[in-house]
Amino acid sequence: MDVTIVDYKSGNISSVINSFKEVAKDKVNIEVTSDLNKIKSSDKVVLPGQGSFKSCIDGLNGINGLIDTLSDFALYSKKPLLGICVGLQMFADIGYEEVETKGLGWISGKVSKIDNQNGKFKLPHIGWNQIKIVKDSKIFKDIENNSHMYFVHSYEFVPNDNSVTAATTDYASNIVCAVEKENIFGTQFHPEKSDKLGLKIINNFINL
Amino acid sequence: MLKNRIIPCLDVKNGRVVKGINFVDLKDAGDPVEQAKIYSDGGADEICFLDITASNENRDTIYEVVEKTSKECFVPLTVGGGVRSIDDINKLLNCGADKVSINTAAVQNAKVVEDSSRKFGSQCIVVAIDAKRKDDGWEIFTHGGRNPTGINALEFASKMEKCGAGELLVTSMDKDGTQSGYDIELMQKISSMVNIPVIASGGVGTLDHLVDGIKSGASAVLAASIFHYGTYSVNEAKQYLASKDIPVRI
């Protein structure tokens, strides 16, 4: 099996690579590339994302044909795709970080700044927070409700249709922290930095 | 609920772990990769490496250490010490660091913080503030605490927040190495002034000091000696904090 981590020169993806390789061992081939043919032919795709919504979208746009290839993969081939952090946020129609930026539009919704209640809550939301699993998502197999995951973000994905929400976390309000829509998965937290439980989620995704 | 973080810090020199007492008096005591792994297995919420060789020769040793550690530890890894430029930050991130802490360079040229937080995201930019009491306030120092700057620590903290720092790592130089507790007043002042998380550092000798650090408003507490010399394990520290009703990940 081939799992491709999309390398679109945006942010730091070494931790994502290390964690997938740790889980995959020799059983699964982990590719790190922006090569469109390799993405097309792979069994699963991971879309990481760090930095701002705009910088990530710009990064995707910077590689000719990448967005179309990813959209085909996710929406037509319907093969499993996992977005992490801004990778998840980009599923939205629109993001409001820096400037209003059009997203991939795969899961209807918007990405806006976490309401920190006039400074009562510090931003970024950094650290370990518990996730409340609200949907029996395949990537949460053997993950207990209220498990701790590592977060670092100031913006949140607000889906239009709550049925895509797989988990939420409590910080100033209930923040959507995992989504599942058919073959499309996303986590706002960083499974690659969430120790053994995070690696378990990665393992679940690889074994889908 | 968001938990308070406990961050063991390892001082690394020439690729080996040491722990400075008041920034001098070094003792060699181990392999950083192995140490980091012990900490992450023991429940450390993050690991911090402070490279104290960085400004001199043997700079590249830290990259190797970071690379090896990031393949074994799957909790966030912060690396600081001798980070001068966007290139240095880029290289550390590529080796597997999740956050980079900037001290001297941030004081000398705030644009490094602005540019790097824009390029890599605020989430990976930590500004390290070394502060020492002076008159009624605190003055910040650079170059591992050697050079006074005349700059007020509170004003600098506020400026760094505006420049895009994701977190502030605040070390009291008066307290560092003394094991007499954090400079609580300093932590309180900075935490209440900025809207980004503050990591308290410098002076931990007992588990109560960690409790005091969190109560001062810091989001995370950093300590080196008490963990490194095995006085307490990270897990013991967490159990103790939990017993004092401080939310931690156990």
Nearest residue on chain B to A202, alpha-carbon basis: B74
What is the structure's pLDDT at A176? 98
Region A182-199: mean pLDDT is: 98
| B128 sits in which H/E element | strand B125-134
Residues from chain B contacting residue A128 (CB–CB below 8 Å): 2-3, 5, 45, 249
pLDDT tens digits for B184-194?
999 999 999 99
What is the structure's pLDDT at B21? 37
pLDDT tens digits for B94-105?
999 999 999 999
Contact call for A22 and B71, based on CB within 8 A? yes
Of B74, B124, B195, the CB nearest to A12: B124
The number of residues making up chain A comes to 208
Confirm whether A156 is a catalytic residue. Answer: no
3 state SS of B61:
helix
Residues from chain A contacting residue B71 (CB–CB below 8 Å): 18, 21-22
CA distance B65 to chain A (A): 14
Nearest to B195 by CA among B227, B226, B157, B229: B157
Of B40, B76, B121, the CB nearest to A11: B121
Residues sharing a CB contact under 8 Å with residue B139, sequence separation 6 or more, in sequence order: B131, B132, B133, B148, B149, B150, B151, B152, B153
Q: How confident is the model at residue B29 (pLDDT cuts 50, 70, 90)?
A: low
- Judged against a pLDDT cut of 50, whether residue A110 lies above it is answered with yes
CA distance A70 to chain B (A): 23
Residues B63-97 as b/e (b if ≥16 CB within 10 A, e otherwise) read bebbbbbbbebbbbbbbbbbbeeeebbebbbebbb
What is the structure's pLDDT at B24? 40
Residues from chain B contacting residue A125 (CB–CB below 8 Å): 2
Amino acid sitting at position B78 = T
Kindly report the average pLDDT of chain B as a whole number: 92
Contact call for A124 and B2, based on CB within 8 A? no
Confirm whether A148 is a catalytic residue. Answer: no
Region B180-185: mean pLDDT is: 98
pLDDT tens digits for A35-93?
999 999 999 999 999 888 999 999 999 999 999 999 999 999 999 999 999 999 999 99
- Report pTM: 0.95
CA distance A4 to chain B (A): 18
CA distance B161 to chain A (A): 11
Cα distances (Å, whole numbers) of residue A52 to A86, A89, B87, B118, B195: 7, 10, 20, 8, 19
- Judged against a pLDDT cut of 70, whether residue B55 lies above it is answered with no
Residues from chain B contacting residue A15 (CB–CB below 8 Å): 70, 74, 96, 98
For chain A, give the percent of residues with pLDDT over 70. Answer: 100
- Judged against a pLDDT cut of 90, whether residue B57 lies above it is answered with no
CATH number of A2-206: 3.40.50.880
Q: What angle, rounded to 10 degrees, do the helices at B153-163 and B111-120 form? A: 40
What is the structure's pLDDT at B23? 37
- Judged against a pLDDT cut of 60, whether residue B210 lies above it is answered with yes
What is the structure's pLDDT at B147? 93
Tokens representing B196 are: 């980004």
Q: How confident is the model at residue B60 (pLDDT cuts 50, 70, 90)?
A: confident
Contact call for A195 and B121, based on CB within 8 A? no
Q: Contact A151/A170 with Cβ under 8 angstroms?
A: no
**Interstrand relation of B5-13 and B77-80 (parallel, antiparallel or unpaired):** unpaired
Nearest residue on chain B to A196, alpha-carbon basis: B74
- Judged against a pLDDT cut of 60, whether residue B150 lies above it is answered with yes
- Judged against a pLDDT cut of 60, whether residue B22 lies above it is answered with no
Chosen for mutation from A14, A189, A199 (greatest number of chain B CBs closer than 10 Å) is: A14
Nearest to B100 by CA among B72, B119, B128, B73: B128
Chain A within 8 Å of B116 (Cβ-Cβ)?
Answer: no
Chain A within 8 Å of B192 (Cβ-Cβ)?
Answer: no
- Judged against a pLDDT cut of 60, whether residue A197 lies above it is answered with yes
Kindly report the average pLDDT of chain A as a whole number: 96
- Choosing from A85, A97, A125, A177, the catalytic residue is A85
What is the structure's pLDDT at B72? 94
What is the structure's pLDDT at B19? 62
| All structural domains of chain B | 5-243 (3.20.20.70)
What is the structure's pLDDT at B222? 97
Contact call for A51 and B197, based on CB within 8 A? no
CA distance A61 to chain B (A): 16
Q: Contact A43/B155 with Cβ under 8 angstroms?
A: no
Contact call for B74 and A50, based on CB within 8 A? no
What is the structure's pLDDT at B54? 53
Contact call for B75 and A52, based on CB within 8 A? no
Q: How confident is the model at residue A24 (pLDDT cuts 50, 70, 90)?
A: very high
pLDDT tens digits for B115-147?
999 888 899 999 999 999 999 999 999 998 899
Q: How confident is the model at residue B68 (pLDDT cuts 50, 70, 90)?
A: very high
| Residues of B classed as catalytic | 11, 130
- Judged against a pLDDT cut of 70, whether residue A204 lies above it is answered with yes
- Judged against a pLDDT cut of 90, whether residue B247 lies above it is answered with yes
Region A12-33: mean pLDDT is: 94
For chain A, give the percent of residues with pLDDT over 90. Answer: 93
- Judged against a pLDDT cut of 60, whether residue B216 lies above it is answered with yes
Domain boundaries, chain A: 2-206
* Cis, peptide link before residue A124, omega less than 30° from 0: yes
**Interstrand relation of A173-181 and A44-47 (parallel, antiparallel or unpaired):** unpaired
